[in-house]
Structure 1
Amino acid sequence: MSQKIALSWSGGKDACLALHMLMQSSNVEVDHLHTVIGEETDRVGMHGIKKELIEAQAKSLNLPLKISHLPSDKSNKSYDQVMSEYAEYCKTKGIDTIAFGDIFLEDLRQYREERMAETGIKCVFPLWGKGTKAVIEEFLDLGYQTKICAGDASKLNKSLIGQTINHQLIQNLGENVDPCGENGEFHTFAYNGPLFQNSIELQLLSIHSHFYVYKIEDDGKTKEMRSEFYFADFE
């Protein structure tokens, strides 16, 4: 009998490849996808993807979608509360494990495991420990397609936003950009491939910038930092 699990779904390539790997296993059954959507924006956090496009993915993948809404303060406390409530939902469905598409960020994995452990939920990471170049190459070689939907303006040329990733694009990213954007350099939206019943048609309406202000500690002093991100507005 296979184990019923859920998959944390951002809509990007890593979550998609994790889903592919899980679907190849006879030991697990992916019960549904779970996405956190901004209550104020109706979009996926750092991906900037509209809820309707996430719904289109789930429909094409023929999987149920569970959406949680993150309050406009976007604080860690609010996120933890959202995930705690989601964990309770999972338990009502007999699910005690959630899969994530993380690859090598130890602190993020630890955060997920510790928070979920508090709710009695276990975490699995199908892509964990794989080289990120190998991950993106496997994703492409399997026949999946994905577009860059957001990118750090200090790391990525604006002309790449909205582009479909291929082997040549990965080669041209530059040495300071992880091939999977695992350090937050860029985010993606998967729109076609073996698990999709149909390709999701995307129209790039515009590319816009958003500035984030945050604080860091440096030699005992608090400094205010500012970073710019590009976002593709797809419909």
Structure 2
Amino acid sequence: MAATATPVLLAWSGGKDAAWALHALRQRADVEVVALLTTVTAEYGRSSMQGVRREVLHAQARAAGLPLLEAEIRAGGDNDAYDAAMAAALAEAARRWPGLRTVAFGDLLLEDIRAWREQRCTAAGWRLLTPLFGRDTALLARGMIASGLRAGLCCVDTTQLPAAFAGRDFDEGLLADLPAGVDPCGENGEFHTCVWDGPMFAAPLHLRRGDTVLRDGRFAYTDFMLPASPHPVVGATSVATG
């Protein structure tokens, strides 16, 4: 790491925004991402928002050439439990990388979420960095695709977007088909993605699509897995998306 570069810990969900934040930070001379941090739900072994499998998260980190730290939470945990898990993970990161006190997120537009993160980070003695914040999401989405980012929709909020979009590639065809009012990057929670290729990776991941299931009567999740991963998904209702 260059002597003048600030070390950065990047929050990693497994999706396109985190991946693009990594790409954006790597274009800068004043910072260097030294590790990724993901929040995993213990009972499921998946990232807490996207539902990306733990083994896929680690494969993404290897492709990015970075270590991955985990903050493990319990299903249904409250904000206090989340804060405790994140504080423990940040403390571990600070021990491993002396001088590391900046954490980055791939947030795009939601000022209330950014303010909440900043308050939590400040309370823990950390600085918040949001390299993509305020970008035009339509231009950003097309820029990601044009630059070679490849991802699929792993979670769709069916109150905002039909379940048939779950499992689709994040590409120009998808952007053209999104209903009016749906953010091109899914910034309002309309959808989440699982990324398998892009300029932030040394080589693409060869993921396969599994079943699409409905959880909580609302969220359609498509399973993306490594070739050797077991297929079944339990505790949810199958959804036909074709």
2:67, 2:93 → 1: CA distance?
Answer: 13
Deviation at 1:29? 0.9
CA contact (8 A) 1:87 1:116 kept: no
Give unpaired runs (5+ residues) of structure 2.
226-242
Mapping of 1:100-111 within 5 angstroms? 100-111=105-116
2:181, 2:220 → 1: CA distance?
Answer: 17
The residue that corresponds to 1:167 in the other structure is 172
* Residue number among 38, 45, 51 corresponding to 2:48 in the alignment: 45
1:201, 1:37 → 2: CA distance?
Answer: 22
- Counterpart amino acid of 2:57? I
Deviation at 1:39? 1.0
Q: Normalization by structure 2: what TM-score?
A: 0.88
Identical pairs, percent? 35
CA contact (8 A) 2:12 2:18 kept: yes
Determine which structure has the larger strand proportion and give its number: 1
* Residue number among 205, 224, 227 corresponding to 1:234 in the alignment: 224
CA contact (8 A) 1:155 1:176 kept: no
- Counterpart amino acid of 1:20? H
1:194, 1:203 → 2: CA distance?
Answer: 20
The count of residues paired between Structure 1 and Structure 2 equals 220
The residue that corresponds to 1:5 in the other structure is 8
Q: What SS does the aligned partner of 1:77 have? A: helix
Output the aligned Cα RMSD: 1.1
Deviation at 1:87? 2.2
Deviation at 1:73? 3.3
The residue that corresponds to 2:34 in the other structure is 31
Q: What SS does the aligned partner of 1:89 have? A: helix
**What do the CA deviations read for 1:176-219 (whole angstroms, capped 9, x no partner)?**
211111110000011011221221111112000011xxxxxxxx
**What do the CA deviations read for 1:108-156 (whole angstroms, capped 9, x no partner)?**
1111000111110010100011111111111111111111000011222
The residue that corresponds to 1:216 in the other structure is none
Deviation at 1:58? 0.5
Deviation at 1:170? 0.6
Q: Find runs of 4+ consecutive structure 1 residues off by over 4 angstroms.
A: none
- Counterpart amino acid of 2:145? L
1:88, 1:64 → 2: CA distance?
Answer: 16
The residue that corresponds to 2:132 in the other structure is 127
CA contact (8 A) 2:70 2:89 kept: no
Q: What SS does the aligned partner of 2:218 have? A: strand
The residue that corresponds to 1:219 in the other structure is none
Residue 207 of structure 2 is aligned to residue 202 of structure 1: yes
1:87, 1:64 → 2: CA distance?
Answer: 14
Q: Normalization by structure 1: what TM-score?
A: 0.90
2:196, 2:74 → 1: CA distance?
Answer: 27
